[in-house]
Chain A
């Protein structure tokens, strides 16, 4: 395998990673290139490197997450940072300790990087305005989940070489999905054609202004796409009965073995996890040859190491 030669004078200046909407294709590619350099850390005898030695990373999670939190913790550990786990349920009380209070407290302890997951869209951005530490968005409301999208495009690029011209379907609860939004920005910036597939009740307002196509029929889309990303149906966010039943949803929008028969032979099947087996995706497909679901998890680690490394680099460059 050969590495694409990165531009020698490229300087990463973003000390926060808040979303992919504001990044250019070149910047996204630079993160992916950097992530390649981190892959081997996880495969060798000592699975640790020293670049964040003496740095403190706090995992500030206001929302349940196992996978992303562990992935960030492991990534930080592998770069020799010290990791503080800080889990807190968001409070809806408007008077009391605010997110900013919490963050300022942590900052007083000498935290260098704050990895934040929050149920409110924009919370990481707001945090980045108020503290000096680097802020990495680990998912905010249904705004963005940049590292998930980065690992998605990293995985696709690794298999296909490039995203240029690829047809990608993102299927599921688009309206309430931060993954769909971040994926959309990353994939389209890198040259792919993205189609959102969902019932109209799960498509966000004014989708026409977004750089995507929309389809209400998985059957029409399945034959044409190179990549299909099946979003998890998040019952906790749905509200208001957007489809009549799980049975009917699966019938129209589930990735079944039967539907897979009509897909391209080399279609890549993705899922951000955790999977509702038998709901949005059948076990046979999730565990099948086209599935890269576990590959995604592995790549997530490299991507998150790259992100932690880069934001810290930007922070030290600015000094």
Chain B
């Protein structure tokens, strides 16, 4: 007997297959079997009238803190949060303790992900040993074990010769190299965006040049190596411009933007609330405008929330010593809607592109679309449902969320992974 699941009457948005219409989706044996008008009776039927039916959402930039900081998040808690937020695939960053830097580490993440039975858990591997930016990590073994890319996220690779070597060597395995662009010589020790507010608050700043200088450098290296390169969480107008120009040259370069860099500015740091301390730092209204324009113009390939949970006690530290990071996975979709759809910058199909097929292509996985035969991952969204963000109800352990108490729109109703309902309201 085949296992069937039918989703009826939803607005099916599948950008990869150029589809945006009210119709039905049938999943048979965990895979997409049919999309269109389906009249036959199926025991397991979901009525999705008034809902958006999207390919399962993908976030290629999360920190689940395991191994090493399980008190902040685990792969189990993070995965539960992911499906509650509509994400059927996530990519963990390798800056754990110890970092993900060989095939055993990669397999560990995969195993923990499978055991959680929530979302698909992928991981990137470190580019360099212990993320020191000096010697290359075993990229080959990690790629074979299933790492979807490489990054030293948390810091940028400072030495250009190391970055060049990583690109050249990494090219053998055809995985993306992701960079947290930050040249420490422009902002080491900084706690927030270098600018008026940092001056008044008496906090050391991180100049926008820190990001842009490294991004510019990396673009030159891509020109030389033609390796697939991904700029993580770009935060400045200058970065958006650099990516825009690189794309005009048809370089294999992609980038992502976080919700906080589309919504919050350095002015939010005014009360020294450490929930606004994040890296790259919150920038200015001018940067937000430029990033939104970049999203509108298709310069941005993926939306990723850089979910970075921390202990409450750590966020109770002085702004200067508190760790960087915002936990926002569980409200990410609503934040994008607030930043991009409500002001009319883009429409739902564009948003879903950047949350499905866009990120899937960056990391090279067969997901993010409802193409027949692919794994049946679906997110059902009520686009008009309003709710209040309440971190105390989160599956994630992170409470370091500056959006607590915000009233937002668009709620995930059901999250289906491989034909199985893993979350429902």
Chain A residues within an 8 Å CB radius of B322: 94
CB distance from B99 to the nearest CB of A (A): 18
Q: Which residue of A lies closest to B313 (CB)?
A: A98
Q: Are the CB atoms of B196 and A98 closer together than 8 Å?
A: no
Contact A94/B272 with A121-B203, A205-B199, A206-B195 known, Cβ cut-off 8 Å: no
Q: Which residue of A lies closest to B271 (CB)?
A: A125
Tell which of B195, B196, B203 touches A143, judged by Cβ atoms closer than 8 Å.
B203
B316 within 8 A of A: yes
CB distance from A238 to the nearest CB of B (A): 12
Tell which of B196, B200, B316, B317 touches A181, judged by Cβ atoms closer than 8 Å.
B200
Q: Contact flags (1/0) for B321-357 with A, using CB distance below 8 Å? A: 1110000000000000000000000000000000000
Q: Which residue of B lies closest to A237 (CB)?
A: B204
A242 within 8 A of B: no
Q: Give bound CA distance, A109 to B205, whole Å.
A: 37
Main secondary structure of the interface of B (DSSP, over half): loop
Q: Give bound CA distance, A138 to B318, whole Å.
A: 16
Chain A residues within an 8 Å CB radius of B200: 21, 181, 210
Q: Are the CB atoms of B314 and A120 closer together than 8 Å?
A: no
Tell which of B205, B317, B321 touches A205, judged by Cβ atoms closer than 8 Å.
B205
Q: Give bound CA distance, A118 to B272, whole Å.
A: 14
Q: Contact flags (1/0) for A94-124 with B, using CB distance below 8 Å? A: 1100111000000000000000001111110
B194 within 8 A of A: yes
Q: Give bound CA distance, A282 to B194, whole Å.
A: 34
Chain B residues within an 8 Å CB radius of A178: 202
Chain B residues within an 8 Å CB radius of A121: 201-203, 272, 319-320
A131 within 8 A of B: no
Tell which of A21, A92, A94, A206 touches B196, judged by Cβ atoms closer than 8 Å.
A206
Q: Give bound CA distance, A47 to B33, whole Å.
A: 91
Q: Which of A21, A92, A94, A209 has the most CB of B within 10 A?
A: A94
A159 within 8 A of B: no
Q: Give bound CA distance, A105 to B269, whole Å.
A: 27
> From residue 219 to 276 of chain B, which have CB atoms closer than 8 A to chain A?
271-272
B210 within 8 A of A: no
B198 within 8 A of A: yes
B311 within 8 A of A: yes
Chain A residues within an 8 Å CB radius of B198: 204-205
Q: Which residue of B lies closest to A177 (CB)?
A: B202
Tell which of A122, A206, A209 touches B272, judged by Cβ atoms closer than 8 Å.
A122
Q: Give bound CA distance, A206 to B197, whole Å.
A: 9
Q: Give bound CA distance, A99 to B274, whole Å.
A: 14
Chain A residues within an 8 Å CB radius of B321: 90, 92, 94, 120
Contact A207/B311 with A94-B323, A126-B272 known, Cβ cut-off 8 Å: no
Chain B residues within an 8 Å CB radius of A130: 316
Tell which of A90, A92, A100 touches B316, judged by Cβ atoms closer than 8 Å.
A100
Contact A141/B202 with A94-B321, A122-B272 known, Cβ cut-off 8 Å: yes
Q: Which residue of B lies closest to A203 (CB)?
A: B199
Contact A143/B317 with A94-B323, A125-B272, A205-B194 known, Cβ cut-off 8 Å: no
Q: Give bound CA distance, A121 to B269, whole Å.
A: 12
Q: Are the CB atoms of A141 and B203 closer together than 8 Å?
A: yes
Q: Give bound CA distance, A154 to B164, whole Å.
A: 60
> From residue 38 to 83 of chain A, which have CB atoms closer than 8 A to chain B?
none
Q: Are the CB atoms of B199 and A95 closer together than 8 Å?
A: no
Tell which of B205, B311, B320 touches A141, judged by Cβ atoms closer than 8 Å.
B320
Chain A residues within an 8 Å CB radius of B316: 98-100, 130
Tell which of B195, B196, B205, B318 touches A122, judged by Cβ atoms closer than 8 Å.
B318
Chain A residues within an 8 Å CB radius of B203: 121-122, 141, 143
A152 within 8 A of B: no
A226 within 8 A of B: no
Chain A residues within an 8 Å CB radius of B202: 121-122, 140-144, 178, 181
The 3 closest A-B pairs by CB, nearest first: A143-B202, A122-B272, A120-B318
Chain A residues engaging chain B, CB cutoff 8 angstroms: 21, 90, 92, 94-95, 98-100, 118-123, 125-126, 130, 140-144, 178, 181, 204-207, 209-210
8 example contacts (A-B, Cβ-Cβ < 8 A) are as follows A94-B321, A95-B314, A98-B316, A120-B318, A121-B319, A140-B202, A204-B198, A209-B199
